[in-house]
A and B are shown apart, each in its own frame.
Chain A
Amino acid sequence: MKKINRMNLAQRACPLLGALLLSSVSFSASAVEWDAVSGKTVELFSPGQAGWEWVLTESNHSASKSVKKGTNCKECHNGEQPKMGKLIGSGEKIEPDPVSGNPGHIPVEVKFAYDNERLYVQLKWQETSQSSKQDPDYQAKVALMMSDGTVKATKIAGCWSACHMDSNGMPNAESGQDLGKYLFASRSKITRSGGGENLKPASDIAALLEAGNFLELWRAKLNPDKPAVAVDGYVLDAIHENATPAISAQSSYAEGQWTVELSRNLKQAGEGRLDFVTGNIYQLGLSVHDSHTDERHHHVSFGYTFALDSGRADFIAKKI
């Protein structure tokens, strides 16, 4: 972090020098030698206004019955992300307000590692040239949502399990209402328009949280010339952000390429926090808000899995 502060000073003192320095590494020293960790490329794509209820409705999505039976999106759609993203991102399908310059998909290289204390995730992607000023404060944002397997919908559909037709920016959002992500389990009734108003009693929500029925949320908000802003929390009845994040985030930006590292202790006290242990399979959804985009105008991954050290998962975190 000190290195980033020095760069800020340099930039204030001499814009040219600052710009030159910005093109170099801006990470503080990472505990992980990432070059020695193998990763996989995940295709993130524009989801448009396709919330979880949309996915589960046959007239929208012919495989809705198959999804209800537990088929993960990737089983049918892996490899189709660029094509789907192009259709949606261009506004041809389920996106009434496309962002100019949206390529529809972003390939993101993802790596996992862990040591005796912490879990580390690295995301790397080439920025897009979308002309958006939806979020003037941050040039890019990344988010991870994770479950320990308790949330059935996340096993099937990753982030879609938390995205609903009445959430902000979605077709059934009520004007003046600020409704973000939530899980079906937190509602007493769900219609094809969502279930925002049908919140279960607080005691039920507390029981769900206790039972692990939540998604842990990690976010990093990014600008090239500033330290990454780390935010964490969980999704259940709504997004709950912790006043003091337990995660660390750092980023670098060079020639249009973002490299972001997020990490936290394997075990961390607090509500809505998972214990990361060997032998378990964790569900994972990723998103990137690139080029000042906001809300639904992000690029999202299907549901993936990761495990520490070994296991039948899409990503195996390397022990360091």
Chain B
Amino acid sequence: MKKPSKRYATGSLVVMGIVIGVLGWGGFNWGLEMTNTEEFCISCHEMESTVYQELKETIHYTNPSGVRATCPDCHVPRPWIHKIIRKIQASSELYHHFMGTLDTPEKFEAHRRELAQHVWQVMKETDSRECRNCHSTDSMNLMAQSQRARTRHEQATENGETCIDCHKGIAHKDVYKEIQKEKEQEAEPDFGLDL
């Protein structure tokens, strides 16, 4: 068998490989986690001056139980492979940051509906995976909920609905109603005459 190197012993190469591998892998994950914090997200003023300020007014930011949801809790998947995919997708956000696509409140508002609908679509496709980082229907005590919440959660479970079907716009400015209103104005209602 041919030696991989005349200068270094095979054992040394293996050790060096392991060290480099550990440092490389660790560094990669360290970098990944560094970009997976609220501080990193709001270091861009596009996020800090808009959606972050809106989040601060909601129950996901401050609540009786003292549990706070930060940006990545809701917007970055926890399973590793999905996290990597999301990070690769986020490279387009970097591109738009440097292009100044959303660099004024006016520009952000002009794109808000598109951005919101994209997030809702992803959450629908993943069965609200990031909501379920903290919430699960199994651990809900329905009897401790209001009658309205209890009824709606029971129906949602029966009908196979997912969190985002009802809970749109709960952590940021809600644009769902105005989008829905425009759709309603464009289309005839589907009221059954038997109602």
CB of B148 within 8 A of CB of A68, answer no
0/1 interface trace, chain A 212-238, chain B, CB 8 Å (1 if under): 000000000000000000000000000
0/1 interface trace, chain B 7-40, chain A, CB 8 Å (1 if under): 0000000000000000000000000000000000
Question: Taking each of B146, B147, B155, B193, which has the highest tally of chain A beta carbons within 10 Å of its own beta carbon?
Answer: B193
Q: Is A192 an interface residue (CB 8 A)?
A: yes
Q: Is B86 an interface residue (CB 8 A)?
A: no
Q: Is A295 an interface residue (CB 8 A)?
A: no
Min Cβ gap B115→A in Å is 20
0/1 interface trace, chain B 152-195, chain A, CB 8 Å (1 if under): 10010000000000100000000001101100100011011111
Q: Name the residue on B nearest A187 (C-beta).
A: B193
Q: Is A275 an interface residue (CB 8 A)?
A: no
Chain B interfacial residues counted at CB < 8 A: 19
CB of A68 within 8 A of CB of B151, answer no
Q: Is A56 an interface residue (CB 8 A)?
A: yes
CB of B195 within 8 A of CB of A153, answer yes
With A and B bound together, what is the CA distance between A57 and B190 in angstroms? 10
Neighbour of B193 across the interface among A71, A76, A78, A184, CB < 8 A? A184
Task: Give the size range of A's interface with the partner.
Answer: 20 to 34
CB of B184 within 8 A of CB of A58, answer yes
CB of A53 within 8 A of CB of B191, answer yes
With A and B bound together, what is the CA distance between A71 and B147 in angstroms? 13
CB of A68 within 8 A of CB of B195, answer yes
0/1 interface trace, chain A 48-67, chain B, CB 8 Å (1 if under): 00001100111100110010
Q: Name the residue on B nearest A156 (C-beta).
A: B195
CB of B189 within 8 A of CB of A76, answer no
Residues of B within 8 A of A62 (CB): 166
Min Cβ gap A58→B in Å is 5
Min Cβ gap A304→B in Å is 16
CB of A66 within 8 A of CB of B155, answer yes
8 Å CB contacts to A: which residues of B109-163? 146-148, 151-152, 155
CB of B148 within 8 A of CB of A56, answer no
A59/B151 contact (C-beta < 8 A), A152-B194, A185-B194, A187-B193 known: no
Q: Is A117 an interface residue (CB 8 A)?
A: no
Min Cβ gap B174→A in Å is 11
Neighbour of B195 across the interface among A56, A57, A59, CB < 8 A? A56
Residues of A within 8 A of B184 (CB): 57-59, 192
Min Cβ gap B16→A in Å is 61
Q: Name the residue on B nearest A77 (C-beta).
A: B148
8 Å CB contacts to B: which residues of A150-202? 152-153, 156, 161, 184-185, 187-188, 190-192
Q: Name the residue on A nearest B179 (C-beta).
A: A59
CB of A191 within 8 A of CB of B155, answer no
Q: Is A256 an interface residue (CB 8 A)?
A: no
Neighbour of A66 across the interface among B152, B180, B192, B194, CB < 8 A? B152
Q: Name the residue on B nearest A74 (C-beta).
A: B147
CB of B147 within 8 A of CB of A190, answer no
Q: Given A75-B147, A192-B189, list of 20 further CB < 8 A pairs? A: A53-B189, A56-B195, A57-B189, A58-B180, A59-B178, A59-B184, A66-B155, A76-B147, A76-B148, A79-B147, A80-B147, A153-B195, A161-B195, A184-B192, A184-B195, A190-B191, A190-B193, A191-B188, A191-B189, A192-B184
A selection of 21 A-B contacts at a CB cut-off of 8 Å is A52-B195, A53-B191, A56-B189, A56-B191, A58-B180, A58-B184, A59-B177, A62-B166, A66-B152, A68-B195, A76-B148, A78-B147, A79-B146, A79-B147, A153-B195, A156-B195, A161-B195, A184-B192, A185-B194, A190-B193, A191-B189
Q: Which 5 A-B pairs have the closest CB atoms?
A: A59-B181, A76-B148, A59-B180, A153-B195, A75-B151
A residues near B, CB below 8 A?
Answer: 52-53, 56-59, 62-63, 66, 68, 71, 75-80, 152-153, 156, 161, 184-185, 187-188, 190-192
